Each structure stands twice: as structure tokens, then as C-alpha cells.
Amino acid sequence: MELTPPDIVRAAYAELVVTDLEASRRFWVDLLGFVVSSQTPDTLYLRGYDELIHHNLILRAGPVPAAARLAYRVRTAADLDRAEAFFAALGCRTARVPAGVTPGVGEAVRAEDPLGFTVELFFEADHAERLQQRYDLRRGAEPARMDHFNIVVPDVRAAYEYYASLGFGLSETIEDDQALYAAWMFRKQTVHDVAFTGGEGPRLHHLGFFAHESHQVLRICDILGSLRQESVIERGPGRHGVSNAFYVYLRDPDGHRVEIYTSDYYTGDPGHPVLRWSVRDPRRRDFWGHPVVPSWYNEASAVLDLDGHPRPLLSEKQPAEIMVGADGFTRLSARS
């Protein structure tokens, strides 16, 4: 019997474990400009200025930095039953979470997915105050909304096939005749809700948040420079080849990576053509050919299972996209 996958609408929020909640508040709220939807002594619920559900990001204080879960919104309440059946048929552990366990979120299904990530699917969500035109409140990078999860997986092709079975479309790839090195996949009508970076995994590579204008990407860099926090800027600003995004990558106080970006594109037409980048094209990761810093390829956040324990890492299956040597770094692909 063909299983009907749940109808996923979009990447909606993530939960990160952070070791110093006040330091995280200074970074995510005071510097980057996220809106605090609600808070408890050990947890912050944050959203972007365009977001109309309760949160895009949960920061929860804990002993070790990690990504606790990645949450997708589904289209109907019946999709929760479909999700439970879909993951059970794959042999994945699942759990039903009653409404209200997560503030602002209704009943949810959590699962340890076949890639080793704890995912949550939910339908009902409380609406938050509309702040899009509260320009008077904006700070930092003026983040608008959650856009995507970038995850590190040992087997990019297996990740692609799994997310294709969940009904995700493919927008772009990095590949050659031998291997799929990275892929970008979507449910909402943008370049992606999830992307795969090859490497030891499962790990969370970064959370991607959309800003409306390129000056917002530049402004957060200027602010960080002024505050002598330039080391927070890991990579960029620059223009991606893949996705055309104008981007910057920052590292939070626990090393969790966040991308602030703008200017990707519409993918919603049926049969949207896939853009396939050669792994030998130096413009794929940065359209201007700037080298990618080694930490961007090597470092990522641990992920937790349903019980909150760190998932063991598996080594990369496909060849590495780039060589990162003891003497630094080379932009050349593994096969060039």
C-alpha cells in the first residue's frame, strides 16, 4: 500500500539548546533583532517581524549546545495522523505531543526521522500580533521569517530520496557524474525549506532566516564591527550561486550557525526546472568566487533524539565536496 505523506506547508521553527540564555538573548534579540513572543525563566520564544504564528525559534537553556528539533507546519489536522502512519511505516520512533506543551502550538507529532533528526509536525498555531509595518520596533538584521533548515547528512542522495518521498520538490543541486554533494528542496514556493550539506551527521548546519532587503544583511555586519564582535561573522556577506541569495553567516554564543539572507526566487510552478551546479564551478557556493572558510564545511550543531540525548555521528558516504587540508583550505573540488 502506498503511504500518503503528510502535506507539509513549510519549515516553521527550530528549538536550540543554549548554555547561557542571557548571552543568547543579547545575540538573537538585542543584536539580530528577533521579536520575543513569550518567555519563561529557561526558554525564549522568538519570531521574525513578518511571522504570524507564535514563534520561529525556541532557545532553551541546557548543559550542552544542540538542536533539539526541527518543526514543519502541516496543512490540516488530519495530516498529523498521516505523519504518524508515515513515520511508523518507516520504522521511526514517534510521539504524540498534546496541544500547549509548546506555547502557541497545537497537538503535534514528533519523530526520529530516517536521517536521524527529531522533527515535529504541527497544524494548529496561535496567531501573533502583526508587526510587519512596526518599523519603529526593528533592530539589527530585521529578520522577517524562518525560511529553511540546512542539515549535515552522511548520505546526500538518501536525504534527497527521503524528502522526495515526503513530497518535497528539488530546486538546485551540487553534483558531478559520481555524486550528489548537496541539494535544496522545498514545500513552500521558494528555493528551499530544507537543504543537505554532505558531512558527518546528523548535525544541524544552519537555520536560514529571510530579510527583505540586502541592506539589512549589510547592517548587521556593520553593527557587529562597531561592537567589536566581528568574529561573530563567519562567512560573507556575499552572493550565493545556488539560490541566488545575498547572505551572511553568523555564529551565536554557542556556535549555532544562522544565515540572514535575501533575494531567492519563486519555485511554485508545476515542473519547476532543477538548477544543477557542477561541483567544479567556483561560483556555486559564492557567485563572486570567494573561498568558503573551512569552519563552514566542518562545524555544525549536534542534534538530539526524542529523549533529548545527542545522536551518534555517521561518517560521510559521498566524497567530500572540497578538500580541507592541514595547511588551511583549498577551493578545488575533490575531483578537479
Distance in angstroms (rounded) separating the CA atoms of residues 26 and 24:
5
What is the strand order of the sheet 118-122 is part of?
35-40, 43-47, 57-61, 8-18, 66-74, 118-122, 108-112, 94-97
- Supply the minimum distance, in Å, between the C-beta of residue 243 and Fe ion: 7
Residue in 325, 252, 314, 315 with CA at minimum distance from that of residue 291 = 325
Residue in 260, 161, 272, 136 with CA at minimum distance from that of residue 208 = 260
- Supply the minimum distance, in Å, between the C-beta of residue 211 and Fe ion: 13
The site that binds Fe ion (CB under 5 A) totals a number of residues, namely: 3
Q: Which is nearer to Fe ion, 27 or 246 (CB)?
A: 246
Residue 193 touches Fe ion, criterion: CB under 5 A: no
Residue 236 touches Fe ion, criterion: CB under 5 A: no
Residue in 62, 45, 41 with CA at minimum distance from that of residue 53 = 45
- Supply the minimum distance, in Å, between the C-beta of residue 125 and Fe ion: 23
Residue 143 touches Fe ion, criterion: CB under 5 A: no
Residue 208 touches Fe ion, criterion: CB under 5 A: yes
Binding mask 275-294 for Fe ion (x = CB under 5 A): --------------------
Residue 241 touches Fe ion, criterion: CB under 5 A: no
Detail the DSSP E strand segments found in the chain: 8-18, 35-40, 43-47, 57-61, 66-74, 94-97, 108-112, 118-122, 145-153, 169-175, 180-186, 194-198, 203-210, 233-239, 246-251, 257-262, 275-278, 301-302
Residue 259 touches Fe ion, criterion: CB under 5 A: yes
DSSP 216: H
Q: Which is nearer to Fe ion, 123 or 160 (CB)?
A: 160
Residue in 218, 281, 284 with CA at minimum distance from that of residue 246 = 218
Could you tell me which stretch among 76-84, 105-113, 153-161, 207-215 binds Fe ion (CB under 5 A)?
207-215
Residue 147 touches Fe ion, criterion: CB under 5 A: no
Could you tell me which stretch among 3-11, 78-86, 206-214, 264-272 binds Fe ion (CB under 5 A)?
206-214
Q: Which is nearer to Fe ion, 109 or 300 (CB)?
A: 300
Query: Which residue has the CB atom at the shortest distance from Fe ion?
Result: 208
Residue in 202, 197, 198, 168 with CA at minimum distance from that of residue 185 = 168
Residue 172 touches Fe ion, criterion: CB under 5 A: no
Could you tell me which stretch among 153-161, 209-217, 231-239, 258-266 binds Fe ion (CB under 5 A)?
258-266
- Supply the minimum distance, in Å, between the C-beta of residue 101 and Fe ion: 29
**Which residues form the interface with Fe ion (CB under 5 A)?**
150, 208, 259
